[in-house]
Chain A
């Protein structure tokens, strides 16, 4: 995949720090993709927690963003999240209110820069399979999910994509594959159950 990580330096990202934490360029790219993919959820949660005054969950979210930002070399952004975290822990809402807008702007700016990388489609189906093979694959997929075996579950989900599902089921399968990548086993199983009924 073509993505020039060097452009991130313009946003103050320390690429070398990112390589150090993640273990090399390929792994750094994967980490950037994951960072991007979690952004919608993080932004939505932060807005929700700010609106509801849920400082406990806001602290947890900000705490995670502090570590994850540092992991990709966004040291300044990590430091901003750390300031917010410390303010939340000491109930200093003035500092939180003063700093949250700028921090979120910086976060969104980084996410925008990662968009071309983050939106690359990595879910690819294996070869075409019959209905019997699809059912068998789905059964094995349930077992893998029960066992929290995300690697095998991902392979089986890719194999299952070889069945000619309708668009709605295909989207559900894609969502299930995303859930598997995010280690959300129960959610993935629920979607697979819905898809299973459509296998003829």
Chain B
């Protein structure tokens, strides 16, 4: 499946040309919008694009800052942005913008150069499905066939990370009826685990000694591969100010106060996973 592309910029003629070409020729899912902060914001929230293209024209400081709203996409991981700009305007753009993952293509933009850049970004994002392949079930490691008493139903996989084994065991007790659950005691092990395993949600203890919950979440949000894994904090902290500050900065999907009742926990998980 092709990634979703948002195209914007003051050079509306180029925006139209590129959008038409990409949709018709390459089958991209494209959305165009005016170079206005609020229009861009609406599109981000509606389609959650994978890549943005800005077609610049006669930009000034104010107009360049309009594009900063693209930072809202994908939380900490940032949205890759292709900027079509004159060579002499590149430094000006870089100095005025807060965007950090940008790829510059010179005007007049060659459609071949644009597609090459898109393919490069798609490969990096893991979105480069050249052919429509049937998605194969990953081969089960041999040792797991030993689990012959486990039902073979596809369930959501929740990773619980807490340095207290009592809490891990309790979460396992609550969740195993509805979800596949893996329990891990440290942040570094959790980060190692998600590198090689798919999870649908992480329940993450806020206060841990080796690596705190916020540190784990920060690491995740800065790596594109796991930036979008939903995270719910488990916290015994009653300091609402600290909790809210972390929520605003790191944007987990919420938090629950320990000790938590099973019904409250399941309800919160359903809110996030459906």
Query: Is B a genuine binding partner of A?
Result: yes
Q: Which residues of A contact B (CB under 8 A)?
A: 20-23, 27, 30-31, 34-35, 38, 57, 60, 63-64, 66-68, 70-71, 82, 139-140, 143-144, 147-152, 155-156, 181-185
Nearest chain B CB to A103's CB is how many angstroms away? 16
Q: How many residues of B contact A (CB 8 A)?
A: 33
- In Å, the complex CA distance between A143 and B165 comes to 21
- In Å, the complex CA distance between A27 and B176 comes to 13
CB within 8 Å for A66 and B168 given contacts A21-B259, A140-B143: no
Partner of A148, one of B147, B193, B208, B238: B193
B246 contacts A by Cβ under 8 Å: no
| Interface contact A57-B143, CB-CB below 8 Å | no
Partner of B262, one of A23, A63, A82, A143: A23
| Interface contact B166-A31, CB-CB below 8 Å | yes
Interface segment out of the listed B47-55, B75-83, B114-122, B181-189 = B181-189
Interface code B206-247, partner A: CB below 8 Å = 1, 0 otherwise?
011100000000000000000000000000111000000000
| Interface contact A156-B184, CB-CB below 8 Å | no
B28 contacts A by Cβ under 8 Å: no
B146 contacts A by Cβ under 8 Å: yes
Q: Which residues of B contact A (CB under 8 A)?
A: 141, 143-144, 146-147, 163-170, 173-174, 182-185, 189, 193, 197, 207-209, 236-238, 258-262
Residues of B within 8 A of A27 (CB): 173
Please name 20 further chain A to chain B contacts, defined as beta carbons within 8 Å, in addition to the given A34-B165, A140-B146, sorted by A numbering.
A21-B259, A30-B169, A34-B169, A38-B164, A57-B209, A63-B237, A64-B164, A67-B236, A68-B166, A139-B143, A148-B182, A148-B193, A150-B183, A152-B146, A155-B147, A182-B185, A183-B183, A183-B184, A183-B185, A184-B185
| Interface contact B259-A149, CB-CB below 8 Å | no
Pull 13 A–B residue pairs with CB atoms less than 8 Å apart, ordered by A.
A20-B261, A23-B173, A23-B262, A30-B173, A34-B166, A35-B166, A38-B165, A60-B207, A68-B167, A71-B166, A143-B141, A149-B144, A150-B183
Nearest chain B CB to A156's CB is how many angstroms away? 7
Partner of A152, one of B144, B166, B258: B144
Residues of A within 8 A of B141 (CB): 143, 147
Nearest chain A CB to B3's CB is how many angstroms away? 31
The 8 closest A-B pairs by CB, nearest first: A71-B259, A67-B258, A182-B165, A67-B236, A143-B143, A140-B143, A34-B166, A21-B259
CB within 8 Å for A67 and B261 given contacts A148-B183, A183-B184: no
- In Å, the complex CA distance between A30 and B207 comes to 24
Nearest chain B CB to A112's CB is how many angstroms away? 18
- In Å, the complex CA distance between A22 and B169 comes to 11
| Interface contact B261-A149, CB-CB below 8 Å | no
| Interface contact B169-A149, CB-CB below 8 Å | no
| Interface contact A67-B146, CB-CB below 8 Å | no
Residues of B within 8 A of A64 (CB): 163-164, 167, 236
- In Å, the complex CA distance between A184 and B237 comes to 25
- In Å, the complex CA distance between A181 and B169 comes to 8
Residues of B within 8 A of A60 (CB): 207-209
Partner of A70, one of B147, B185, B193, B259: B259
CB within 8 Å for A183 and B165 given contacts A22-B170, A63-B207: yes
